Amino acid sequence: MAKNQKSYTPEFKQQIVDLYNAGGTSYPQLEREYGVNRSTISGWVKQLSPIKVSEGGTVTPKEYKALQKEIQRLKTENEIIKKAAAIFAKEQ
């Protein structure tokens, strides 16, 4: 980590993201009020904002990433099963 780089708590980051997502506060306002760079706030919003997946349903970016990983694993398993089924069908 750089010498002069500030460190923020996860709670502080989430508070800033919640203020932005509530719709009443813009990046420039948050930047002036909390002294955090606009690009830093933008990154937090991308990382910590919930993702709408269905009517009334949301997931965190971390959960979304885990779901994508699980989908990829299941696709790979399906391909293996299809290949195995084709091999067993040929043998009979």
Q: Look at the block and give the residue holding tokens 């800033």.
A: 16
The parent domain of residue 63 ranges over 52-92
Residue 2 belongs to some domain of the structure? no
- 85 and 61 assigned to the same domain: yes
The structural domain count of the chain equals 2
Query: Is the residue at 29 inside a domain?
Result: yes
Q: For residue 3, what pLDDT is reported?
A: 67
Do 17 and 43 share a domain, yes or no?
yes
The pLDDT tens digits for 44-72 are 998 888 888 788 788 888 888 899 999 99
Query: Are 59 and 86 members of one domain?
Result: yes
Rounded Cα distance between 63 and 88, Å, is 37
Q: In 3D, which of 77, 45, 48, 71 has the Cα closest to residue 61?
A: 48
Residue 5 reports pLDDT greater than 80: no
Q: What is the mean pLDDT of residues 11-34?
A: 92
pTM over 0.75: no
Amino acid at 9: T
Mention every residue, 6+ apart, whose C-beta is less than 8 A from residue 52: 58
CA 54/CA 72 separation, integer angstroms: 21
